[in-house]
Structure 1
Amino acid sequence: MMAEYLLFATERYALPILQPLAQALQAGGHGVHAWFVDGASGASLPAPVRRIDDARAAVALKPRAVFSAANWVPPFVSGAKVQLFHGFNVEKRDAARGHFRVRGLFDLYCTQGPATTAPFRELAAQAGHFAVVETGWPKLDPLFGEADPLARQLRDAAGGRPVVLFASTFTERLSAAPHLFDAIAAEVARGDRYWLLTLHPKCAPEWFDRYRALAGDNARFVETEQLVSAQRAADVLVADTTSVVSEFVVQRKPVVTFRNRAPKPHMLDFDDPARLPEMLDHAFSPPPALLAALDAYAEAIHPWRDGRSSQRVIAATDALLAGELGPLRRKPWGALLRRLQIRRELGYWGPAGG
């Protein structure tokens, strides 16, 4: 029997997270709907995913589960509330405010790897109102799945040259985009390597304009929705404290980071833009110790390399709904205020879905 599922997002960068899951649900013969609000408003996923336009329609759908790639989820919609995460834990904030903050809204956390599974299981044991299953991250399924035509197109455009991907966070105090522009522009002009350039959707428009202007024979600007293909195509990443660093490392490829907030042994971190050429040379000739560190970190954050994390998310959700993950306590009263805030933000004061 076909079941209906709802995908929920608040930012454009959630689309590559949800698309592999949508495909897996559709392959299972289920109906898939998407409700995008705030920064994701106006975005869409390819058919046959159907769009939900407002809260009333989401409630009327009565989905079996709601999969969220945001920090929150509409609690008044029926179905299991499943947290997929919008990125890896890159230590931008204190743990209590960042990746490991529990908001009392989700029934199931689908974690990416041991580094996040263990802390969330400890939190689940304390709170008792949600379950935790390590599934891997749907966004990375295409990194290890079937052939990627766009990734091949990007490699072909390089004409046999090494490929460097540049990505930057939008957080102003952590962003490399302003500091590395001149150094990257010089590298692009030199032309011995091919550059793929992308920015977080929340970066200032002026930086989008400047980086887009570098596109030509030696560089291409890629949109957020193309990021996974760009990661698959690139040999080396240049970045800052963006979670793209962790996504890229899962492939066991070298990363060069500019003033990373919490540099690790698998990163080639530097703080002087003039050193970019030197750091790139190191990345393209990685020593054994660096390769070992890359492998160890990848195993900790996302050991799954079969391209089937979406299927594991669906299986974990089925197990939750079947009661196989154990009984859950009621959500904490402390989350009541947040639930009311969500209703106000989404303009819905009707009854909750059954």
Structure 2
Amino acid sequence: MAVTKRAQKHLLYISQNYSYAILRPIQEELLKLGLEVKWFLEGEEVNSNYLKSTEFRLKSVKEVKEWKPDIVFVPGNYVPSFIPGIKVALFHGFNSGKIRKGRIGHFDIRGCFDLYCTQGPDTTSRFKELANEFKYFDVKETGWSTLDPLFKNDNSVDKDNAQPTVLFCSTFTPAISCAEEIFEPMSSITKNKKLRWLIQFHPKMNTDTISKYKKLQSDNVEFIETDDVIPLLKKADIMLCDTSSIISMFLLQRKPVVTFKNQSNLDHLININTSSDIVKSLQYGLNRPSDLMSKIDDYCNHIHPYTDGKSSLRVINAANEIFNRQEKSKHKKPLNLIRNIKSRIKLNYWWF
């Protein structure tokens, strides 16, 4: 469908710091088109200090409603119905296969979006099935906006280090996080100067765990807290992780990942169950065995086949297709009364 009219006002709605990196590539494309962009920060877990001086923030729901955005981009699971505009779900990560109450949480439908912009065939097919079932939202495969900078050449990556660089990441969920279990072995492994280590954890990671790993820092070990992991992904030659959607982001560079007690049993990962196998598994991955690299390539084509750095533009065009449609959906979204009441309490907003 050709875009006949451009939505003018675009709201970037975030509740976590990692969402800045998801939305900034979209902001960049919107500004190139001469369109308006403003931010709304929900809750206390997102840090307003990460906003740039050139980025404009709406500080209350009242301001949002007065501005009346045409389209709202959300890299999260939920957005209140009293926020005006077409609601677009962008996801905060890839489908990592985490099971919640017998379901894969990535595919939970919470009744608040008009459009889901999926990352690749792996998720598109299931969301289209759900769209046919619920009938009030659309699905468009666009690729993931976060990754546009990953596929653009720049000179920001330091390639002068003689040692191979390992990026160690871990999820915050205690049941599947390896950070505590392998801390003692890592205390010893990171002393080996043959490897350079970058350590980055999920922002919700236990603060005691973060403190312990920060103490491991040395001339070849760096603990990094950031709202944008893309530069870290580019710097590293191999990743050590457990079960996290960042694994998929790293693999898309066609670089190997060693996982610790990953439950997915996927053959494009080098999965280990004992800490004594960490070093030799990293060495195996750094050798780039052809069989492993072929499996990684197949996996990447399945989850995110787009390497042109233009996913953000596809997202914008997909949202505008909905904007141009007089009848946005055949069915109304559910009322979500309980969720909306909770949002009103959280945002201290009681008007209509």
> Which interval holds the TM-score relative to the shorter structure?
over 0.9
Tell me the amino acid that sits aligned with residue 110 of structure 1. C
2:267 aligned with 1:265: yes
Residue correspondences, number: 345
Taking a change above 3 Å as real, the CA distance of residues 93 and 179 of structure 1, as seen in their structure-2 partners, is: same
Of 125, 148, 154, the residue aligned with 1:147 is 154
Q: Is the 8 A contact 1:111 1:132 kept in 2?
A: yes
Tell me the amino acid that sits aligned with residue 112 of structure 1. Q
Q: Is the 8 A contact 1:2 1:29 kept in 2?
A: no
Tell me the amino acid that sits aligned with residue 141 of structure 2. E
2:351 aligned with 1:347: no
CA offset at residue 346 of structure 1? 1.6
Tell me the TM-score normalised to structure 1 length. 0.92
Taking a change above 3 Å as real, the CA distance of residues 324 and 112 of structure 1, as seen in their structure-2 partners, is: farther
Taking a change above 3 Å as real, the CA distance of residues 218 and 104 of structure 1, as seen in their structure-2 partners, is: same
CA offset at residue 118 of structure 1? 0.5
2: CA distance between counterparts of 1:27 and 1:183? 49
Q: Which moved more, 1:2-11 or 1:308-317?
A: 2-11
Per-residue Cα deviation, 1:226-261 (whole angstroms, up to 9, x for no partner): 411100111101000011111111111100000112
Tell me the amino acid that sits aligned with residue 121 of structure 1. K
Per-residue Cα deviation, 1:148-180 (whole angstroms, up to 9, x for no partner): 52xx24x44xx2211110000000011111122
1: CA distance between counterparts of 2:193 and 2:330? 57
Matches within 5 A, 1:202-217: 202-217=204-219
CA offset at residue 328 of structure 1? 3.5
Q: Is the 8 A contact 1:22 1:49 kept in 2?
A: no
SS at match of 2:105: coil
Q: Is the 8 A contact 1:237 1:254 kept in 2?
A: yes
2:41 aligned with 1:36: yes
CA offset at residue 25 of structure 1? 1.4
Matches within 5 A, 1:8-157: 8-38=13-43, 39-94=45-100, 96=103, 98-149=105-156, 152-153=157-158, 155-156=159-160
Tell me the amino acid that sits aligned with residue 138 of structure 1. S
Tell me the amino acid that sits aligned with residue 115 of structure 1. D
Partner residue of 1:172? 174
CA offset at residue 324 of structure 1? 8.7
Tell me the amino acid that sits aligned with residue 30 of structure 1. L
Q: Is the 8 A contact 2:73 2:89 kept in 1?
A: yes
Taking a change above 3 Å as real, the CA distance of residues 303 and 325 of structure 1, as seen in their structure-2 partners, is: farther
Tell me the amino acid that sits aligned with residue 290 of structure 2. P
SS at match of 1:263: coil
2: CA distance between counterparts of 1:148 and 1:23? 19
Q: Greater helix percent: which structure?
A: 1
Taking a change above 3 Å as real, the CA distance of residues 224 and 323 of structure 1, as seen in their structure-2 partners, is: same
2: CA distance between counterparts of 1:309 and 1:324? 25
2: CA distance between counterparts of 1:196 and 1:185? 14
2: CA distance between counterparts of 1:76 and 1:202? 28
Taking a change above 3 Å as real, the CA distance of residues 43 and 329 of structure 1, as seen in their structure-2 partners, is: farther
CA offset at residue 188 of structure 1? 2.0
Matches within 5 A, 1:175-190: 175-190=177-192
Tell me the TM-score normalised to structure 2 length. 0.93
Of 234, 239, 243, the residue aligned with 1:237 is 239
CA offset at residue 212 of structure 1? 1.9
Q: Which runs of 5+ in 2 are unaligned?
A: 1-5
Tell me the amino acid that sits aligned with residue 306 of structure 1. D
Matches within 5 A, 1:183-198: 183-198=185-200
Q: Is the 8 A contact 1:197 1:222 kept in 2?
A: yes
Partner residue of 2:3? none
RMSD: 1.8
SS at match of 1:56: helix
Tell me the amino acid that sits aligned with residue 109 of structure 1. Y
2: CA distance between counterparts of 1:238 and 1:324? 49
CA offset at residue 184 of structure 1? 2.5
Q: Which runs of 5+ in 1 are unaligned?
A: none
1: CA distance between counterparts of 2:52 and 2:148? 17
CA offset at residue 341 of structure 1? 2.6
Percent pairwise identity: 36
2: CA distance between counterparts of 1:247 and 1:137? 10
2: CA distance between counterparts of 1:185 and 1:36? 37
Q: Is the 8 A contact 1:66 1:81 kept in 2?
A: yes
1: CA distance between counterparts of 2:124 and 2:285? 30
Of 219, 222, 235, the residue aligned with 1:220 is 222
